[in-house]
Structures are given as structure tokens and as C-alpha cells.
Copies of this chain bind each other. A is one copy, B any other.
Amino acid sequence: MKRTERIGAIIKILSDSPSKPFGLSYFCDLFGAAKSSISEDLKSAREIVRSMELGLIETIPGARGGVIFIPHIYDDQCLALQQELCGLIKDPIRMLGGGFLYTSDIMFNASLTKKMALVFARRFRSSGAEYVATIETKGIPLALMTSWMLNIPAVVVRRETKISEGPTISINYFSGSTGRIQKMSMAKRAALPGSHALIIDDFMRAGGSIKGIAELLDEFDAHVVGTGVAIATTEPENKKISEYTPLVYLGDVDENSGKIEVFPNSQIF
């Protein structure tokens, strides 16, 4: 196999498995090539993705040395994404009354949520998160894509206990958007893969449900090392949680004029 072919294949294989370490020997075996050749190939691959702003390839030093693809979003790409989101959200056709907006088409768009997940992956890469937690339903794609980018598992908190979850632990919490006490539960055998959780969700108003997730995780002796949401409202100013990273802020939603105020979070990183 020629050098060009090896490099193309290396880029594809690495970027198909974000944040997953590969030993040099994996590629030596795959291509039947010497370590020195593969090292040269990896150097080129790294330079290609860096110069084209397609991500980062990093080397892992040491005897068991290897290589890892870090899915990166650059500042200008992040701002473009935030502006794309704002453009989608401010469409008055989304208005549902009561200040609610229809966003399911955005939150179930795979390629858009994958791009959004890149932002959270960059923001929380060094948080020590061992898994991503979310609550059903609309945050699932974003949480899933984030977990994929960080190569950690995703855990989904349920609103109803289902027979297929087995024994669960539940809490009650006050949901600001419905104005009611609601329940959330998690399977005991979700067997959280560590004690450090990253919470990802689609939308946050007062933060009640995200605080609920944190309380539920606490029952599993887990604690939250970061919170990312696609959309956070500017009001109420005092949220029930103090640390969170929204992609965009949603301000006033004026049903009379059809004007929706939405703007990028300029302090993500």
C-alpha cells in the first residue's frame, strides 16, 4: 500500500473513533508496514487535519505509544455554528404560545447535534467526566453525540419507570416549565461507570430538571463536573444551578411582534 493510501485510511479510521487511543502497532499490522513508516504517516495525517481545521491528531508518548483523534471545533467554526443555531431558533414559526418554542427538528437533527457536541467535547475534555448524563427526550441526541466525541458512555434518566429498566432510584423535583412536581428515575443497574458526570441537555430555563439530575446522581454517589445545554434562557437570572455552559441564550419571546431574541454565548471556552 502506498503512503498516500495509508494516510487517507489512517485519517478515516482515527476520526471514525473520536478520542479513542490506537497503538502504533494497530496500523503496522493493518498495513504490514514498519513503525518508522507509520510514524511518518501519522505526522502527515496530523498536519493535514490541523491545517484544514478538521480536528486534532495527538500522539500518546511512552512505550505503549499511540495516537488519538481529538474532535476539535475551532473558534470561528464554533461562532458560525452558534449563529446558525440562532438563525434557526429566531424563526417566528417556532412560537407555540406561553413563550415555548418548537425545537424538535433542531434537537433531532443528527448532523447539527454532532456539531453542537463538538463544542461540549472541547469545553469539557479536561473536566474528568467519565460519562454523560441526560434526561429524556430531546437532549438525547446531543448527549449521545457528546458521549461519542469524548469516548465515554451515555446514561439516560427516565421520566417514567419502565419495566425494562429493572429496579430504579427515583427523586421528585419541581419543574418550572410545567409548574408541577415531577419524577425522574434511573436504573440501579445503570451502574454508573464512575463518579464524575457531565450533564448535557437541550434546554434550560430555571435549571430545575438539571438540578434534579444532579440530585439523582448524588444518590448514586456521583457528582457533576460540568453542565452543557443547547439553549438557556436569560430569565430567570438566578438559576437553580450555578455552573452551566449554553451554546446560545434565549431572551425575550414576543408573541405579538413575532420577535425572538437569541444570541450566542460568547464565553464558552
Contacts and interface: CB of A to CB of B under 8 A. Distances in A.
A118 to B, nearest CB: 11
Contacts of A238: none
A11 B98 CA distance: 46
B164 A101 contact: yes
A251 interface: no
Contact of A153 (B47, B101, B108): B108
B108 A148 contact: no
A224 to B, nearest CB: 18
A29 interface: no
A138 B163 CA distance: 13
A141 B164 CA distance: 17
Contacts of A141: 140-141, 144
Contact of A47 (B5, B13, B147): B5
Q: How many copies does the complex hold?
A: 2
A243 interface: no
Contact of A110 (B5, B154, B177): B154
Contact of A137 (B17, B45, B140): B140
A49 interface: yes
A102 B164 contact: yes
Among A3, A4, A7, A137, chain B packs the most CB atoms within 10 A around the CB of A4
A65 to B, nearest CB: 22
A165 interface: yes
Nearest to A51: B5
List the 9 closest A-B pairs by CB distance, nearest first. Answer: A110-B148, A8-B48, A4-B4, A96-B166, A9-B52, A108-B154, A136-B137, A8-B11, A5-B48
Interface of A: 1, 3-5, 7-9, 11-13, 15-17, 44-45, 47-49, 51-52, 54-55, 93, 96, 98, 100-105, 108-111, 113-114, 136-138, 140-141, 144-145, 147-148, 151, 153-156, 158-160, 163-166, 177-178, 187, 189-190, 203
17 contacts: A7-B7, A8-B8, A8-B11, A11-B12, A12-B15, A12-B48, A93-B189, A96-B166, A102-B189, A104-B155, A104-B164, A105-B190, A108-B140, A136-B137, A137-B158, A138-B164, A141-B144
